Amino acid sequence: MSIDPKLFVSKFPVIVGTLGLLIVGKTLLVTGVGRYFGLSTVAAARAGVLLAPGGEFAFVAFGDAVNQVRIFFSFLFIISYRSCSIS
């Protein structure tokens, strides 16, 4: 996996905006679920802020692990990748 620096710089506002909306959306979702299950507003908001960015890092870590080890089992990869996208 590699990043084209020119493309990254040219699309930087779109990348940051999309990532920001994704994390804010996930934060609100986790906060809402926490409130539904009886957490206080502060505790639910803390859970949302702490858990929301975790799934984004999983994609980076998983992709790097696959590239480092050079093991690619298609079925296992698909299952693991989809489970990361849900988290």
Position 13 scores a pLDDT of 92
For 11-36, the pLDDT digits (tens) are 899 988 988 888 889 889 989 999 99
- pLDDT above 60: residue 1: no
Query: Which of 9-18, 38-47, 75-84 is least confident?
Result: 75-84
Higher-scoring residue by pLDDT: 29, 52: 29
Confidence of residue 42 (pLDDT cuts 50, 70, 90): very high
Q: How far apart are CA 79 and CA 1, in angstroms?
A: 19
Task: Decide: helix, strand or coil at residue 8.
Answer: helix
Task: Determine how many CB atoms are found less than 10 A away from the CB of residue 62.
Answer: 15
